[in-house]
Structure formats: structure tokens, C-alpha cells
Amino acid sequence: MKRTFRGGIVFPSALQNQKETAQASSFMTIFPKQLHLSLNSALKPTVSVGDTVLIGDRLAADPDGKFPPLHCGISGTVTAIEQSSVITVISDGSNTFGTLLPPLSKTASREALLQRMYDAGLVGMGGAGFPTYRKYQAPTIRHLLINACECEPYLAADVRLSIEHSDTLAEGIRFLAAAAGISSREAVFCTESPTAAARLSGMGIRTILLQGRYPQGSERQLLAAVFGREIPEDRFPTDCGMIVSNVATAVAMAEAAHGLPLTHRSVTVSGMVAHPVNLFAPIGTPFSDLIEQADPLLSRRRCRYIAGGPMTGTQITSLTSGLPKTCGGVTVLPALQITKGPCIRCGACVRVCPAGLMPFRIEAAHLAGEKDNTATACISCGCCSYVCPAKRNLAAHIGEARQEMRQRP
Amino acid sequence: MTLAAPYVRADRTTASLMTTVCVALVPPSVAAVYVFGFAAAVRLIVGLLTAFVADRLSGIHRPFDGSAAVTGLILTLSCPVGTPLWLLALGSVFAVFVMRDAFGGIGNNLFNPAMAARAVMLTVFPTHLGGYTTPDALSTATPLSSAHATPTLDTLLPRLIGTTNGSLGETSALMILLGAIWLIARRVVRWQVPVLSLLGFSIVSLLTTGHLILPLLSGSILFGAVYIFTDYTGKPTTPFGEGLFAFGVGATAALLRIYGRYPEGVCFAILLWNLLTPLIEQLTAPHIYGRKKRV
Ligand code: SF4
Ligand code: SF4
């Protein structure tokens, strides 16, 4: 019996087949004509309109030195900086590299590696986008899990990355272990894909094959599956001596050690497209350019475009906006409308909730303007809404309830 | 309107779920018509139609989600064939209008609407519902008294295939089993519910009377275990609570059957446990990830 966590969903084979198709498609690097790079509130542009930039050049940095900088993935000219929050770069078509960072040796110190994580702009690429160096500087780390449990339907880039670039990944895992201050034998590669597991154990990395079940890739669920232990609600895994990093982050670490800042990322474009593809795309590539690679003829109006997977992704409001560091997939789905009905107390949401909540109750309390203090344990996985036969938007409402409770506890 | 995440949803809807339950009710309905003939067919149609009309008139559930059809069918199947048509129609309307919708509609009602209506019918018109064609040993006022004989193939076989005992839905154990397999295979019902309720029933009847198989194959317990105790309304939603509930209802049904005044142990047992459901649900709430104590 493969290890897993409590609750969750095994998706029907129609969805799983889509994923397998996508996992079989090799990476293609794309060279977009322009980039739109969004900055978060910490980052300030370090370039001005009209500047010439090369691949790997810094575009923005945090004056306080807390949030890692942002680098450019193409060579060209900065043509616009909108309200200091979106930088537009137009390509000159030459794809010239700028001056890169000096390569690090395999025996580089922990401090050097942490510094490199910052300089190369590394953030968690599995979703949250938390600065990587901040996680790894935690004092007493004992366990490092490399997460290739890509449990959402349609997404395949993480597994594909593990299969196609297993050597770079293995190297990245060793660097990450060193950065965490542990031996690389303590790092464990976790996946739901037997092929990926075989590749990495062939590279001398410890691997654990987990059951294909959603949300296996959720940090806390993964830790529960592997160690049989729960992280207290008000603590982080690092407080318990554990780090979970996404495979894309590990690959970015290997490249950073070679001197390349984080300028590209792996992304699956899938769903209602002619052929699902896995791409290496510069950060900031417009979503429309990504979608074009999978289906040039897609009629744009009747679809719904999701940044990320269909379970936890967010709807893309503008197709010209650029790919962020945290987004590993673009999913095109039919713009289905659902009619919701009253809750019939079937209990399905209770059985699937990996957090052990009673979603229908929290939703009812929230809609009635009452508080239910269990809401804060919700991990927003969406399992409850997925299974609900009455098609209630449980996860969305519980998310609102949680937000309110965090604001005024 | 923008849809909130998740953007994929499971295929199952309330309506498809209710349709599956209706399909599961076909085998016992067919058995009823086979055994009782025209009278059963008329009752099924009347029960179904009045429930449907009541549902449309009440208008709480738009569009039609099929839950009224389930209520109407279950109510009809739990009545004896001698039930007057007017009483059946009244009960069916009452179940949908009052017991389901006046309590706020599906999901908000405390009691199983069909069983609550059944109980009211029995209390208000006791003589009209006593009309079992062949009085069942277990449904008479001195239950189990004639069941002391060791069960033989002669007594068991008819109960398996189809007998004229009891109410419309209980004629054939085999047909109920067929419905159970369908419901479990379609994952509408978790197998624990019928199994645990039959277990509860068996243990109590074995302990108190020393007999096992006969009670199982006769009377409404089998029908109840498959179609009534499994009804989502008034049943705890927690997996553990659901099991507890099932076992409790089964055991209570046996007790009521043996010591009670009415033959309808199933009906009163479920209403009693419906009352306990909020408490059970509270006590069996799952452990919340990362929290020590339940709050
Ligand atoms: S309540 Fe939260 S954690 Fe539980 S299934 Fe719903 S979204 Fe997931
Ligand atoms: S899954 Fe939907 S219908 Fe079932 S109990 Fe939860 S909220 Fe109610």
C-alpha cells in the first residue's frame, strides 16, 4: 500500500488520461517577442524605460533586501514601466546572455548557497512564492522533501521535469540539502509517478512513491503521508525541522549554482487544447503566447483560462499578462456554468476534506453571518466543492470565512 | 458570472443522485406489482404523482431535483397494499409539503420526510394502515411469537423471492438486495450503513429472542436498511457517526419490534435517531489536521 494522507480525491480516468498525455510531451523552449513582468509590492524597478537588457539582467529588486530580485529572460529593450508594477521588455531576437553570477563549487558553504538563492531570485515555484532562502535559513532542519506530487488534473510539468532533467534535478537536490545544512542522503524525492521515481533513485536520490491522490502535493498533506505526523496549525513545517520544496525550485537551484538566475520556468499548457505541451518559458511571457503553443486556433471567447490547475488555480483576467514565477500551468477549460442547489447532507464533503473539517457546516455558518473557528484549518484544496452534488461553492465561501477570521481573530 | 475555484466539478448532481435512488427502487416496486398486482401499481403511481405535484406547488426546489420522487416512492413502498388511496395521497403531500418543505426544504429537515409522514398517518388513521393482507408473524401485536419454529427452506424461500407479507416494498428480499448492490456500486450508499444496521438488528433480535434469519427476511428491516436508513436527511454526515447511527437504528428497530406496540419498528426507530443526529454529528466530528483538541 502506497503512503498517502486522509481524505482527498482520486480523479476519474478521463482526467487522469489527459495528465498522462501531457506527461509524455517533451519540453520546448519558447522565445516570446515581449515580456510583461509584474512586481509585487516589495520590488522596485532597477531599470528605466529605454534601457537595453540582456538575459539574466536584474529588472527589479527589494530596497530592503528581503524579497529576492527579478531577472530578465530575453534580451531587448525596456519599453514601459506601468505604475512601477509591470515592466515590459521587447525582444531584440538575439537572446544574448548578460554577465551571469560566478559558478559555485559542489562544496560551497551553506551561507554561500543561501546568498545565491537570494541573488538568483529563487522563490518557491510550487505555488506560494515564499522566498526560498528564508525557508532554508531555518536553524535546525532535519528533513527535506522534494515535491513532485503534481496532484492537480492536467498539470504535468513537474513530473516531466523530473523525468527529462533528472540529472539537473539530482544536482539541485544536493545543493538544496547543503543549503538546509543536512546531508544529501536526508533529502527525499516524493512523487506519484513510478517513472520519475525510478529516474531519481537511479541518480542516487532517496525516493518515495506515493499514492496518486489529490491533494497529495499539498505541503502539510505530503508531510503527513511521509512522516505520519501533522504540523500544528499555527506553525510552519520549518518550525518542525522540515522543508518541502518543489522540483522546479530544485532545478532552479542547480542552475543558480551554475550562475544562471531564475529567468525561465517549466509550465504545462493543457485542457481544451489541440495538443497539451510542456514549455520552458521566460518569466513574464504573456499567457496568450503560451496558449498559442498548445493550440494556435483556439477560439478565445468560449473558454475559461486558468493560471495553475483547475482545482486551486485562478482565472486569468487578461491574456496579455505575464507568467509569474509561481505558475506551473495554464489550463483551458470550457466556460461551464453550474446551478447550485441546497445542501442535501450527503456527507461527501466531510469525507474528502483532508483537513478534517465539515465544509457544509462552515459554509452554512458563513452564509448566516456566523463564525465557525474551524475555518482557519482549511487549506483551500477545493475537494469539497469538487465532490458536492449540490454544486455548492464550499471552498470559496470557507476561504472567505477564513480570511475574515484571520483579519479579526 | 465567474465560477469560483475549483473549475472542474464531479459529474454527480443532486438530480443524478436521486435518479440513481429511484432506479434502485425499481426492483422492489416490480416485485410489489408482481405480487400484489394492479392495486400496488395504482398505489405507486398515486404516491409518486402526488409527491411530484406537491413538490411543484411548494416550489422550494427549482429546478426539479427528484427528491420528491424518492420521498413519494419510499412512502408508498412502506405502506401496506390495503392503504386507501386518499390516505396515501394525503401522506405523500404531507411528507413533501410539511415534513420536507415546511422545515426549510431538503437538507434542513430534522426528520426523514417519508417516515415522519408514515408515523403521522399511523397515529391519525391507525385502522386504515393495519391492512396487511397476510398478517406477518413479526408484524402482529405479539411479535416473533410464531417465529419460534426453526426456519426451514419452506419458510425462507418465499420470503426471498416474494411474499404477500407486510408492506409493498418488503415483498422480496432478493429484489431489495439487488437495489442495495446497485446503490453501493454507484457509491450513493456506503456499505457500512445497511451492514451495520442489519448487524444491530440481528444482535438485538438474537439476544432477546434467539432467532436471526427470519426477522431479517421478513418485515421492513431489510427495506429500511437499504433505502430508509441510508437516506441523507437526518443522518449524521461524519463517517463514524453514520456507522453509529446505522447500528443504533437497527438495534432500536429490533427492540421496538419485539417490545413495542406498533409493528412499525423501523419507522419509529429512525425518527428517534433522527433526533439524535445533531448530537452524534457533534460528537463524531473528524479530527482537524494540526489541532490537538476539538473546539
Ligand atoms: S474545507 Fe478547505 S481543506 Fe476541506 S476540502 Fe474544502 S477546501 Fe479543502
Ligand atoms: S457535499 Fe454538498 S450536498 Fe453533500 S453534505 Fe457537503 S455541502 Fe451538502
Q: How far apart are CA B140 and CA B157, in angstroms?
A: 21
Would you say A244 and A223 are in contact if contact means Cβ atoms under 8 Å apart?
yes
What local confidence, expressed as pLDDT, does residue B260 receive? Answer: 75
Supply the residue whose CA is at minimum distance from atom 5 of ligand 1. A353
Residues of B within 8 A of A342 (CB-CB) are 61, 105-108
Residue B128 CB neighbours (<10 A): 17
Average pLDDT over residues B180-186: 96
C-alpha cell, B273: 435517531
Query: What is the rounded CA–CA span in Å between residue B44 and residue B159?
Result: 21
Residue B5 resides in a domain: no
Axis crossing angle, helix B26-36 with helix B38-58, rounded to the nearest 10: 140
Three-state SS for A11? coil
Q: A325 near A129, Cβ under 8 Å?
A: yes
C-alpha cell at A50: 529605454
In angstroms, the CA A88 to CA B155 distance is: 86
Give the rounded distance of the alpha carbon of A367 from its chain centre: 31
**Rounded distance between C-alpha atoms, residue B227 and residue B243, angstroms:** 15
Supply B125's cell numbers: 388513521
By most ligand atoms within 8 Å of CB, the mutation choice from A362, A378, A394, A397 for ligand 2 is: A394
The tally of domains found in chain B comes to 1
Looking at the CA of A349, name the nearest ligand: 2
Chain B, residues 70-129, CB within 8 A of chain A, namely: 105-108
Rounded Cα distance between B266 and B271, Å, is 9
Closest residue to B107, CB basis, from A304, A342, A385 = A342
Q: Which of A9, A312, A380 most suits a substitution to test ligand 1, by most atoms within 8 Å of the C-beta?
A: A380
Domains by residue range for chain A, with CATH: 13-26+105-257 (3.40.50.11540), 34-91 (2.40.50), 264-334 (3.10.20.600), 348-407 (no CATH)
Greatest C-alpha distance within chain B: 67
Residue located nearest, by CA, to atom 6 of ligand 1? A384
Q: Which residues partner with A307 through β-bridges?
A: A314, A330
- Residue A322 at interface with chain B, using a CB cutoff of 8 Å: no
Report in angstroms the alpha-carbon separations of A184 from A111, B6, B176: 17, 37, 60
Of B6, B67, B291, the CB nearest to A310: B6
Q: What is the DSSP string of A215-275?
A: TTTSHHHHHHHHHS-PPPTTS-GGGGTEEEEEHHHHHHHHHHHTT--S-EEEEEEEESSSS
Q: Is A337 on the interface with B (CB under 8 A)?
A: yes
How would you label A188-223 residue by residue, b for 16+ Cβ within 10 Å and e otherwise?
bbbbbbeebbebbbeeebebbbbbbbbbbbbbbbbb
The pLDDT value recorded for residue B263 is: 65
pLDDT for residue B167: 85
* Residue B260 domain-assigned (yes or no): yes
CB A127, CB A312: distance < 8 Å: yes
pLDDT digits (tens, 9 = 90+) for B12-67: 999 999 999 999 999 999 999 998 989 999 999 999 999 999 999 887 777 888 89
Which cell numbers hold the place of A82? 506601468
A99 Cβ neighbours under 8 A, 6+ residues apart: A56
Helix (H, G, I), strand (E, B) or coil at A43: coil
Residue B157 has pLDDT above 70, yes or no: no
Determine the pLDDT at residue A200: 94
User: To the nearest 10°, the Cα dihedral for B71, B72, B76, B79?
Assistant: 50
Orientation of helix B113-124 relative to helix B85-94, angle to 10°:
130
Q: How far is CA B80 from CA A302, A364, B100, in A?
A: 54, 39, 23
Termini Cα distance of chain B: 36
Q: Is the pLDDT of residue B293 over 60?
A: no
Whether the CB-CB separation of A286 and A322 falls below 8 Å is answered with: yes
Q: What pLDDT shows up at residue B146?
A: 43
A228 by Cβ neighbours in 10 Å (0-12 / 13-18 / 19+) ranks as exposed
Q: What is the Cα–Cα distance from B188 to B181, expressed in whole angstroms?
A: 10
Question: Hey, of B230, B245, B289, which one would you mutate to test binding to chain A, going by the most A CBs within 10 A of its CB?
Answer: B289
Task: Give the DSSP H or E segment for A191.
Answer: strand A187-191
Type and span of the H or E element at A354 = none
Nearest 5 degrees, angle CA B22-CA B14-CA B118? 50
Indicate the range of A246-250, B43-47, B84-88, B261-265 predicted with least confidence: B261-265
Report chain A (409 residues): mean pLDDT per 10 consecutive residues.
Answer: 82 87 88 94 92 94 94 94 91 90 91 95 88 92 93 93 94 95 92 93 93 91 91 90 95 95 95 91 95 80 87 91 94 86 94 96 93 91 96 94 81
In this predicted structure, the answer to whether residue B143 has a pLDDT above a threshold of 60 is no
**A118 and A124 Cβ atoms separated by less than 8 Å:** no
Residue B101 gets which letter from DSSP?
A: I
Residue B128's pLDDT band (cuts 50, 70, 90): confident
| Rounded distance between C-alpha atoms, residue A32 and residue A73, angstroms | 10
CA dist., res. B24 & res. B178, Å (int)? 8
Q: Do B289 and A233 lie within an 8 Å CB cutoff? A: yes
Q: Is the pLDDT of residue B138 over 70?
A: no
Whether B294 has its CB under 8 Å from any CB of chain A: the answer is no
Residue type, A306: I
A200-209, B1-10, B136-145: least confident range: B136-145
Instruction: Count the neighbouring beta carbons within 10 Å of the beta carbon of residue B123.
Output: 10
Determine the pLDDT at residue B186: 94
What are B283's three cell numbers? 460528537
Contact between A238 and A141 (Cβ < 8 Å): yes
CA distance A381 to A212: 15
Pair B172, B162: CB distance under 8 Å: yes
Do residue B5 and residue A395 have CB atoms under 8 angstroms apart? yes
End-to-end alpha carbon distance in chain A: 41
This complex has an ipTM of 0.87
pLDDT value, residue B136: 41
Q: Which positions in chain A touch B236 (Cβ < 8 Å)?
A: 347
Q: Is B105 a domain residue?
A: yes
pLDDT at residue number B294: 45
**Cell triple for A404:** 475574515
From A345, A378, A391, give the residue whose CB has the most ligand 2 atoms within 8 Å, as the site to mutate.
A345
Number of neighbouring beta carbons within 10 Å of residue A28: 11
Strands A187-191 and A206-209, by their bridges, are parallel
Ligand 2-lining residues (CB < 6 angstroms) = A 343-349, 359-360, 387-390, 392, 394; B 237
Q: Does B59 touch chain A (CB under 8 A)?
A: no
Cell output for A120:
538568483
Tell whether B24 is covered by a domain: yes
- Indicate whether B291 belongs to any domain: no
More confident residue, B257 or A43: A43
Is residue A193 within 8 Å of A162, Cβ to Cβ? yes
Assess whether the C-beta atom of A395 lies below 6 angstroms from ligand 1.
Answer: yes
Domain membership of residue B1 (yes or no) is no
Give the amino acid at A403: Q
Q: Tell me, what DSSP letter sits at residue A10?
A: P
Q: What percent of chain B has pLDDT over 90?
A: 52
Could you give the strand order of the β-sheet that contains A76-82, starting from the edge strand earlier in sequence? A34-38, A86-91, A76-82, A52-53
Asked if residues B101 and B85 have their Cβ atoms less than 8 Å apart, the reply is: no
Q: Residue type at B137?
A: A
Contact A314 B63 (CB under 8 A): no
Q: What is the pLDDT of residues B194-222, one digit of tens each?
A: 999 999 999 998 898 887 766 677 668 89
Does residue B295 sit within a domain?
no
Instruction: Name which residue leads in pLDDT, B171 or A36.
Output: A36
**CATH number of the domain that B220 lies in?**
1.10.3430
Which CA distances in Å does A49 have to A36, A79, A185, B14?
Answer: 13, 5, 48, 56
B98: which DSSP letter? I
> Which pLDDT score, from 0 to 100, does residue A299 have?
61
- How much is the pLDDT for B252? 94
What does the DSSP 8-state code read for residue A303? E
Q: Domain range for residue B220? A: 14-283
Angle at A149 between CA A145 and CA A150, to 5 degrees: 140
Please report which confidence band the pLDDT of residue B258 belongs to, taking 50, 70 and 90 as the band edges.
confident
Within a domain: B6: no
DSSP assignment of B225-289 equals IIIITT-STTS--SHHHHHHHHHHHHHHHHHHHHHSSSS-HHHHHHHHHHHHHHHHHHHTPPPPT
Mean pLDDT of chain B: 84
